[in-house]
């Protein structure tokens, strides 16, 4: 129980940090939901990076590397290190500018004003809110898995996940966005230090990684893990679309509006790739090495291999400290809960309630939604504990959908001729495509069971159009996100050109002033 107790102490510390922020606020809705648009460069960098790193980054990446090999680093980290900073530079700064100028708090609020589209805004809101749920679930699952693994099963999954949910809900409830930002900044420092320390300690205890790598190279079953043999070129290429999701995530878009000035983005764009390397490189490599230490784990079971490595190769105190660092990454789910409560309060309560909704009512509505979504996330996490891997859940039901909505944001910010009908068509395409792919994945298992390594056709009559891989269903070998993104662009352009352009007054307000 000693490692788990160390984590409990850590949870108490961040709970204090988050609630302390409550005493620094000025009791306005803008302060509660956007921290008064006052985050400086370093806090903004740490918060934005920490916001985008969940259990997916440490537990999910190491678990997938255990199954697929070292190529997982190139699959996600290399493209993310390039695409996400570019999104922040060209989209994040623009979103900050229009948000500050026109008082927007959410992306849907901006879309409604930009395209004068009440109904379309509601459709976009509904889809994005629905796709946010997996992120909250991932964080709670990660918390439950972390405490269960560190305690050797003495702390059950349901209790660990519930404790994480309660702590996060508490400081979001009291501290709002300022509490989330302070906690995220603190936690980001924690898990950035984790990688190097864990890498050094585990290497020392195992007598050096060179010996293990040599043994793996000599083992035909493990040698492919040290190459990208288990990742096809088609899958590798299509994964480059995934990082586009960053700027369409509500928590990332809302976080962009919290910056004190546009200069806050400068350090973030420069240092973001470095932060990506510091967290992903050790996580992926240790996941690969874990395949040598703990062979035979199935997809989903491998999400805790990093925790197993820590428990077996460090003393109990260090395992607890490093476990707390992992928990810091896992608990980035606070940003998603904050984003959802901001969206529901701004895009539903305030939008439809109008002037009747006072500042105090908006704040309390945000707090009520934070409680509601945490409870829902915890309930779903309990149902999924045995059947979903963290990486699989994030990619199929989170990243792919939001990446496919990115063309809508680009069109709103940079294409004057774009219309609400183009945005609606693209949104419906993403919703329909995501729903179909979910059905295909869940209900074609009897036709084509999940293979060991090589992909198999889902429908024999269609040849290799739909292929089932160990982690999902691909389209002719490519990740579905690529086709969803390209289709979103096509629908956005086609329906915008076929419909009446926005009024001149709107164009002048957003492009000529």
What whole-number distance in Å separates Cα of residue 93 and Cα of residue 470? 39
On whether residue 319 sits in a domain, the answer given is: yes
Q: Would residue 25 count as lying in a domain?
A: no
Domain count, the chain: 1
Q: How many other CB atoms sit within 10 Å of the CB of residue 225?
A: 26
Helices marked H in 264-396: 264-293, 305-313, 316-330, 333-343, 351-353, 359-384, 390-394
Q: Read off the CATH number of the domain in which 157 is found.
A: 1.20.1730.10
Phi-psi region of 362 (alpha: psi -120 to 50; beta: other; left: phi over 0): alpha
Strand (E) or helix (H) holding 398 = none
* Residue 26 resides in a domain: no
Distances (CA, A) of 128 to 61, 344, 426, 441, 459: 24, 11, 13, 21, 31
Please state the pTM of the whole predicted model: 0.85
Identify the CA nearest to 1 among candidates 436, 442, 320: 320
Please report whether residue 297 resides in a domain. Answer: yes
What's the pLDDT at 386? 61
Q: pLDDT tens, position by position, for the chain (513 residues)?
A: 777 787 788 888 888 877 777 777 677 888 888 888 888 899 899 888 888 776 666 777 888 888 888 988 888 788 888 899 999 999 999 999 999 999 899 999 999 999 999 889 999 999 888 888 877 887 788 778 778 877 778 888 888 888 888 888 888 888 888 888 888 888 888 777 777 787 788 888 888 888 888 889 998 888 989 988 888 888 888 888 988 888 888 888 999 999 999 888 998 999 999 988 888 888 888 888 888 888 887 766 777 787 788 778 877 777 777 777 777 766 777 888 888 899 999 998 888 887 777 888 888 888 898 898 888 888 888 877 665 555 555 556 678 889 999 999 999 999 999 999 999 999 999 999 988 888 887 777 777 666 666 777 887 777 778 888 766 788 888 888 899 999 999 999 999 999 999 999 999 999 876
Separation between Cα atoms, residue 306 and residue 479, nearest integer Å: 26
In a domain, 378, yes or no: yes
Quote the pLDDT of residue 452.
64
Residue 485 belongs to domain spanning: 2-20+31-511
């Amino acid at each position: 129980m000693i490692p788990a107790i160390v984590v409990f102490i850590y949870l108490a510390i961040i709970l204090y940090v988050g609630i302390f922020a409550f005493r620094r606020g000025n009791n306005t809705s803008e302060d509660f939901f956007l921290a008064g648009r006052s985050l400086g460069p370093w806090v903004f960098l740490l918060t934005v990076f920490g916001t985008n790193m969940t259990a997916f980054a440490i537990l999910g990446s190491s678990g997938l590397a255990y199954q697929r090999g070292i190529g997982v680093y190139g699959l996600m980290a290399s493209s993310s290190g390039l695409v996400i900073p570019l999104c922040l530079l060209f989209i994040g700064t623009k979103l900050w500018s229009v948000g500050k100028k026109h008082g927007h708090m959410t992306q849907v609020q901006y879309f409604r004003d930009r395209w004068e589209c009440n109904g379309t805004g509601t459709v976009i809101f509904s889809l994005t809110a629905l796709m946010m749920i997996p992120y909250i679930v991932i964080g709670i699952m990660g918390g439950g898995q972390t405490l269960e693994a560190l305690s050797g099963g003495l702390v059950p999954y349901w209790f660990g996940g519930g404790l994480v949910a309660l702590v996060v809900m508490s400081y979001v409830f009291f501290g709002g966005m300022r509490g989330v930002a302070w906690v995220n900044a603190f936690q980001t420092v924690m898990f950035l230090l984790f990688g190097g320390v864990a890498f050094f300690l585990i290497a020392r205890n195992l007598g050096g990684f060179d010996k293990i790598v040599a043994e793996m190279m000599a083992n035909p079953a493990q040698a492919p893990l040290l190459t990208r043999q288990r990742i096809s070129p088609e899958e590798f290429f299509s994964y480059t679309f995934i990082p586009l999701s960053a700027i369409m995530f509500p928590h990332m878009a809302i976080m962009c509006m919290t910056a004190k000035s546009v200069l806050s983005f400068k350090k973030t764009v420069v240092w973001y790739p470095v932060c990506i390397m510091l967290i992903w490189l050790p996580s992926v490599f240790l996941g690969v090495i874990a395949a040598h230490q703990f062979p035979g784990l199935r997809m989903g079971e491998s999400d805790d291999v990093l925790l197993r490595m820590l428990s077996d190769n460090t003393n109990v105190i260090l395992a607890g400290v490093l476990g707390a660092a992992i928990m810091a990454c896992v608990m980035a789910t606070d940003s998603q809960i904050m984003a959802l409560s901001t969206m529901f309060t701004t895009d539903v309560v305030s939008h439809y309630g109008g002037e009747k909704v006072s500042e105090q009512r908006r704040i309390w509505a945000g707090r009520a939604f934070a409680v509601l979504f945490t409870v829902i996330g915890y309930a779903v996490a309990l149902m999924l504990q045995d059947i979903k891997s963290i990486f699989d859940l994030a990619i199929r039901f989170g990243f792919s959908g939001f990446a496919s909505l990115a063309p809508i944001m680009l069109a709103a910010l940079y294409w004057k001729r774009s219309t609400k009908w183009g945005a609606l068509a693209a949104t419906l395409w993403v919703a329909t495509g995501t729903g179909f792919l979910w059905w295909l994945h869940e209900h074609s298992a009897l036709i084509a069971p999940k293979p060991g390594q090589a992909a198999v056709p889902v429908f024999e009559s269609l040849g290799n159009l739909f292929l089932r891989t160990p982690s999902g269903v691909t389209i002719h070998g490519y990740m579905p996100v690529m086709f969803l993104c390209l289709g979103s662009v096509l629908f956005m352009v086609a329906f915008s050109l076929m419909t009446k352009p926005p009024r001149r007054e709107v164009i002048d307000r957003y492009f000529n002033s």
